Structure 1
Amino acid sequence: MASLTTLKDLSVMEIERILDDAERLYEVRHVGSRNGHIIANLFFESSTRTKCSFEMAQKQLGIDTLHFDVATSSVNKGESLYDTAKTLESIGCDAFIIRHGETRYYDQLEGITVPIINAGDGSGDHPTQSLLDLLTIRQEYGLFRGIKVVIAGDILHSRVAHSNMEVLERLGADVYVSGPREWIDDSIPEEKIVTMDEAVHLADVLMLLRIQLERHDTGSLSDPDTYLNTYGLTVERERRMKPDAIIMHPAPVNRGVEIDTRLVECSRSRIFKQMNNGVAVRKAVLVRALHKKEAPVHVV
């Protein structure tokens, strides 16, 4: 059994193995029979892509899913995350997929003995998103070393940015950031911070980020047009990108804010390819978590 809470815990070889497994599992659509595994999905924050992607991966692998409804659970009576997880473990769940608003929530779950797969923790990590991003980049370029990646937008509040910066640098990519200065971590060296006009000339991969409004003090963006023109990807900027450069975004996309809506599905965009890759990656992560040595071969 193998948890996945942060990619920092995995070696480069282990990361490459997961990506290889994802490629191998890509076409597995449904196994012939249920395999007896039951996984509980605990999403304490809203999600479309990650939640549905995990559910699709579970269905395609023949894994049964226990749907946990936070709104009607004893969490509303003050039950701790640990006691919730321990209850579900006790009744027979084989693994947990958890998204939670608290950074490093999994530190509370030390006594849980089944695998925990982190589906996003606060502003901390989003390991399966990083893995699907890595798969998308590897499919495009075949390698990571020397690839120039610019991550642009709300760096400070983005678990995607934090996961991707660490793992991409470890894999040999040159990583830069762009965005409002108040949204860039103080720990990022000055030479790694670029304007969006510099980014479009520099990047092989331009990875845009959603503004994390739910993690800001203000509940709305005051001037979307100003943000797009100053920090976002406009049509005019896209024309200045390298010929083979690609656009990525973890979604949901704030159309007309971080990216002009006309570019969301342009020829450079890999946004929906990322989503497609997410199912394959999450199948690989589930196989790893449940210690299934080989991909299912009896496909119907």
Structure 2
Amino acid sequence: MPHLLTLDGMPRERILALLDRAQLFAEGHDLRGSLAGTAVCTLFFEPSTRTRMSFHLAAQRLGADVLNFDASTSSTRKGETALDTLRNLEAMGVRGFVVRHSEDGAVAALARRVRPGTALINAGDGRSAHPTQGLLDMLTLRQAKGDAFERLTVLIVGDVRHSRVARSDLHALRTLGAGEIRVCGPQALLPDDGTLAGCAVSHDLDAALDGVDVVMMLRLQRERMEEGLVSSLEDYHRTYGLTAQRLRRAKPDAVVMHPGPINRGVEITDEVADGPQSLILRQVHNGVAVRMAVLESLLG
């Protein structure tokens, strides 16, 4: 695996091996400097908080030299292409690149042009994929519910059409054998490209919540939307927002997840986001461990 571009097609054994290694890191074990002397660059052409900072911490904890690239203050403002930027950093000795880009397939296109020995990690490209988020979600889910994914009913709610997180979660859930995957959202925010094959699709959140083990809420990707897909944020919350009352329709021990950033009062209320069933901050915690496992696997 020279790069990590997507979870689509990744063998189950490979996913489990990364999760096992990440679990050790999450528990504080084996924090060795396996990347000492290796240069890693977070090459972000879109804003980020959790993903960028957790990759930075992950690389530092493995002993790497970390460079943070900020497109807003770089030569890309002068017309330099992403490929030229990457090649110049390669020439400085950077071996690992964590890349976020607004265009679908942009990271894969860069990966085809790099030198042998250079590794790229997709930190989110357009609507396509966010593989490390998918892995950290699976780690969080496994910690909460155990290894038997086949016993789980998982509900994904919201803007799936524009969500790279949803796509990576779906890839991972299918590979790990989730018992039932439900998807709920307004028709305008659900993809029609085969992404939801095998999922039980609904537009009624109350019905979709009945008896589920896991509720994965998604952020409204307003920066990627065309106008008119959502009539108003108030209407969206009224129909698809997760409240404590609605959550009672799920199993009593159901857990709530969200990749962040949260639009409080839109897709989820404070009471749920900060409540006892929420795993949102555990997802953030696990992000560092998962990204350590991925960096070590590619560059160690």
Within the alignment, does 1:166 sit opposite 2:171 as a pair? yes
Q: CA deviation at 1:283?
A: 0.5
Cα displacement string for residues 180-231 of structure 1 (whole angstroms, at most 9, x for unaligned residues): 1111112335971122102221321100000000001239965333212211
Q: Alignment partner for residue 201 of structure 2, among 185, 188, 193?
A: 193
Task: State how far apart, in whole Å, the 1-side matches of 2:97 and 2:36 are.
Answer: 17
Partner of 2:252: 243
Cα gap change, 1:180 to 1:102, in 2 (>3 Å): same
What is the percent sequence identity of the aligned residues?
A: 44
Cα displacement string for residues 24-70 of structure 1 (whole angstroms, at most 9, x for unaligned residues): 12215965797101101111101000001111111211111112121
Partner of 2:271: 262
Within the alignment, does 1:184 sit opposite 2:190 as a pair? yes
Q: Alignment partner for residue 215 of structure 1, among 218, 221, 224?
A: 224
Q: Is the 8 A contact 1:28 1:60 kept in 2?
A: no
Query: 5+ residue gaps in structure 2?
Result: none
Q: Is the 8 A contact 1:29 1:61 kept in 2?
A: no
SS of equivalent to 1:68: strand
Cα displacement string for residues 138-194 of structure 1 (whole angstroms, at most 9, x for unaligned residues): 111212123111110001000011111122112111211101111111233597112
Cα gap change, 1:253 to 1:214, in 2 (>3 Å): same
Task: State how far apart, in whole Å, the 2-side matches of 1:191 and 1:136 are.
Answer: 21
Partner of 2:143: 139
TM-score (normalizing by structure 1): 0.91
Q: Alignment partner for residue 122 of structure 2, among 115, 118, 121?
A: 118
Q: CA deviation at 1:240?
A: 2.1
Task: State how far apart, in whole Å, the 2-side matches of 1:44 and 1:220 are.
Answer: 26
Q: Is the 8 A contact 2:259 2:283 kept in 1?
A: yes
Partner of 2:215: 206
Cα gap change, 1:223 to 1:243, in 2 (>3 Å): same
SS of equivalent to 1:145: helix
Cα gap change, 1:156 to 1:16, in 2 (>3 Å): same
Task: State how far apart, in whole Å, the 1-side matches of 2:56 and 2:126 are.
Answer: 21
Q: Which amino acid aligns with 1:270?
A: L
Partner of 1:24: 24
Matches for 1:1-300 after TM superposition, within 5 Å: 2-26=2-26, 27-28=28-29, 31=32, 35-109=36-110, 110-113=112-115, 114-143=118-147, 144-173=149-178, 174-186=180-192, 187=194, 188=196, 192-194=200-202, 195-218=204-227, 223-290=232-299, 292=300
Q: CA deviation at 1:265?
A: 1.2
Task: State how far apart, in whole Å, the 1-side matches of 2:58 and 2:127 are.
Answer: 25
Q: Is the 8 A contact 1:2 1:289 kept in 2?
A: yes
